[in-house]
Amino acid sequence: MKTIIIPYKGVMIGEKEISYGITQKEIKKVLGEAGRIEIDNIMDEIREYRLGMVFTFIENKLKDIAFSLHVELYYEDINIFESDNAILELSSYDTPTPESKGGYINFYKIGISLGGFGKKKIPEKKLACAFSKDRKSFYEILLKV
């Protein structure tokens, strides 16, 4: 199912819009039950796994979405996981950060973080995270770790 990133607003999963700030109850109405729910008391987050995505809730609100490489993920006309030049193509919309030691590159105008797309590989092979505007500072810190 085609999933489209809407910068700092959320995503479209097929015909269903998922906006940052919605609650677990609201996302359940739209997408149904989660396959798995993980409560992280250290990070103070709840993560719901469904459709090859991880929906992260902080203070009962959706804050970011991580996508496995099995998701048909788009920004504009760029199929992020299928493109051989995703970083270059996304660069026409936003200036990427330099690749971090951990292998992540952020696009702050688009509100996405990509892992495994540069020289450094990650265990998941490739990973994308779309995030809400109030999570930008978290993703900035992530590059410094």
The answer to whether residue 64 scores a pLDDT higher than 70 is yes
pTM: 0.93
pLDDT in tens, 75-112: 999 999 999 999 999 999 999 999 888 889 999 999 99
Mean pLDDT of 2-16: 97
Paired with 75 in beta bridges are 78
d(CA 3, CA 55): 14
Residue 115 CA to residue 13 CA, distance in Å, equals 21
